[in-house]
Amino acid sequence: TQLLEQSPQFLSIQEGENLTVYCNSSSVFSSLQWYRQEPGEGPVLLVTVVTGGEVKKLKRLTFQFGDARKDSSLHITAAQPGDTGLYLCADSFQGAQKLVFGQGTRLTINP
Amino acid sequence: NAGVMQNPRHLVRRRGQEARLRCSPMKGHSHVYWYRQLPEEGLKFMVYLQKENIIDESGMPKERFSAEFPKEGPSILRIQQVVRGDSAAYFCASSPLAGVGNEQFFGPGTRLTVL
Kindly report, residue by residue over A30-61, the tens digit of the pLDDT.
788 999 999 889 999 999 888 888 999 999 99
In this prediction, residue B98 carries a pLDDT of 64
CA distance B72 to chain A (A): 22
CA distance A11 to chain B (A): 14
Question: Which range has the worst mean pLDDT, A9-18, A94-103, B48-57?
Answer: A94-103
Length, in residues, of chain B: 115
In this prediction, residue B96 carries a pLDDT of 84
DSSP label at residue A41: S
Nearest by CB: A42 against B56, B95, B109:
B109
Place A94 in a pLDDT band, splitting at 50, 70 and 90: low
Contact A50 B100 (CB under 8 A): yes
Average pLDDT, chain A: 91
Contact A42 B99 (CB under 8 A): no
Nearest by CB: B91 against A42, A96, A104:
A42
B30 vs A contacts (CB less than 8 Å): none
Beta-carbon count within 10 A of B32 CB: 28
DSSP label at residue A67: T
Average pLDDT over residues A14-25: 96
Average pLDDT over residues A52-77: 93
Residues in Cβ contact with A26 at an 8 Å cutoff, skipping those fewer than 6 apart: A2, A3, A4, A5
In this prediction, residue A106 carries a pLDDT of 95
Percent with pLDDT over 70 in chain B = 96
In this prediction, residue A95 carries a pLDDT of 63
Task: Say if residues A91 and A34 touch (Cβ distance below 8 Å).
Answer: no
Contact B56 A96 (CB under 8 A): yes
